[in-house]
Structure 1
Amino acid sequence: MSDLTHGDDVAAVNSLRSAVMRLSRRLKHQRVDESLSPTEMSVLGTLSNCGQATPGELARKEHVQPPSMTRIVALLEAKGLVRLEPHPEDRRQKVVSRTEQAEAMLVESRRKRNAFLAGLVEGLDEDEWATLRAAAPVLEKLAQL
C-alpha cells in the first residue's frame, strides 16, 4: 500500500473523503421516515443484511457503544420496527430482528435512494459510469473495514 501522506495520494484521499461526505448528506435527505435517525436506519439495514443479532453484535457492526445500541434498539422496538426474543442458547441475552413494517420501510427507502442515485448517474458519461461500477465493490470493502 502506498504512503498516503504525499502528493497525489493525499489529494485522492481528500477528494474521496469530501465526495463520500457530500453524497452521504444528500442521501440522508432521501429518507422515507423522517422520525428515524440515520443511526436507526443503519441498524435496520444491518438487520436486513444479517437477519438477526444481539444488541452487542449490532453495537460492534455499527461501531457504537453497547449502552447506545441498547437505547437505539429500545426506540426501534417502541416504534414497532424490531422485536426482541430470547437468545436460543443464552437466556440472559436477547436477539433483535426486524419486523415486516421495518422491511417494508427499508424497501421503500432503498427504492427512493436508488432512484436518487440513478438520477445522478444520468449525468455521467459511459466511461465515468464504468469506472464507478468498477469502484463500487472497493467502496463497499472500505465501508466494511
Structure 2
Amino acid sequence: MPTVEAVSRTDAGLAAELRTSVMRLRRRLTVERHPDNELSIGSMVVLGLLHRSDAQTVGELARAEKVQPPSMTRTVSGLEDGGYVTRRPHETDGRQVVVQITALGRATLLADRKRRDAWLAVQLKHLTADERDVLRRAAPILDRLSQAD
C-alpha cells in the first residue's frame, strides 16, 4: 500500500494538495476583503478585467470568465446599477455596447485589492527567502493553470 507521502508525489496527489491549498487561500483572501465592499467575487472579477483592459463587450467578458452571456449581462447590470461600470455604444459595431469601469468601480477594486495584498504581504514575511522565491516562480504557473480550458 502506498504511503501518503508517495501518493502526494503523483500528479493526482499534487492536484489534490494544490486544490486544497488554493481553496484555503481563496477563502482566507475572501475573508480579508474590504469591509465596505458588498460586491460578489464575480463582480469584483469583472471590475478587474475592465481595469486591465479599459473596455470590453459583455460577450468578451463572458468568454474571459467562461460564463454564458446572459449571466454576464446580469452581473454587468448589477454593476451598472451600483455605478461601478457604464455602458456606451461600440465605436465600430453599432449592434454592440462596451462596458467601462467608473471611478467608483476602480476605487472599490483598488481598495479591496490593497487590503487583501496587505494581509498577504504580512503572511509572506513569515516565510523564508527560499519559500518566497518558490512562490514567486509558482505565481505565473498558477495563473496559467487558472487560464486553462
Match of 1:36, SS? coil
Q: Which runs of no fewer than 5 residues in structure 2 stay unpaired? A: 1-6
- Inter-partner Cα distance in structure 1 for 2:65 and 2:111: 22
- Inter-partner Cα distance in structure 2 for 1:30 and 1:41: 14
- Inter-partner Cα distance in structure 2 for 1:144 and 1:52: 20
The counterpart of 1:81, out of the listed 76, 80, 84, is 84
Q: Which runs of no fewer than 5 residues in structure 1 stay unpaired? A: none
Letter in 2 for 1:102: G
Deviation at 1:144, TM superposition (A): 2.0
Q: Percent identity?
A: 46
Pick which of 31-40 and 51-60 moved more.
Answer: 31-40
Cross-structure match for 1:127: 130
Letter in 2 for 1:144: Q
Q: Which runs of 4+ in 1 moved over 3 A?
A: none
- Inter-partner Cα distance in structure 2 for 1:31 and 1:6: 32
- Equivalent runs, 1:1-145 vs 2, <5 Å: 8-32=10-34, 33-145=36-148
- Inter-partner Cα distance in structure 1 for 2:130 and 2:102: 41
Deviation at 1:117, TM superposition (A): 0.8
Deviation at 1:20, TM superposition (A): 0.6
**Could you tell me the TM-score, scaled by structure 1's length?**
0.91
